[in-house]
Amino acid sequence: QVQLVESGGGLVQTGGSLRLSCAASGRTFSTYAMGWFRQAPGKEREFVARITWSGGNTYYADFVKGRFTVARDNAKNTVYLQMNSLKPDDTAVYYCAARAGPGIPFGPWGQGTQVTVSS
């Protein structure tokens, strides 16, 4: 099973950019689909983006389409979330998670990284 550690969060102004990274331990990283989720204060965790094990397919929540890009480097056991044109509504703790196959719930999860977008 992989273990995940997110990094790259921080404070940014509206319209700015951040790149989140999720580093995975374990030799089976390349077999997992990976997802990014977020949770804002007082709200439930929501799906942001995901990428297949090969990186050949990506999927996004409507509210990030055209602004966020998910990518992975299996040689580095890392998945990325490039976030552009950030808005205050993007403020949340961002989590990455692994999924062993279609229909299998995401898990394990990382500890999260805080993203704060100031207006």
Distance CA 116, CA 106 (A): 25
pLDDT at 27: 76
Tens digit of pLDDT for each residue in 13-31? 999 999 999 999 987 888 8
Residue from 30, 27, 16, 4 nearest 94 by CA: 4
What is the pLDDT of the chain when averaged over all its residues? 95
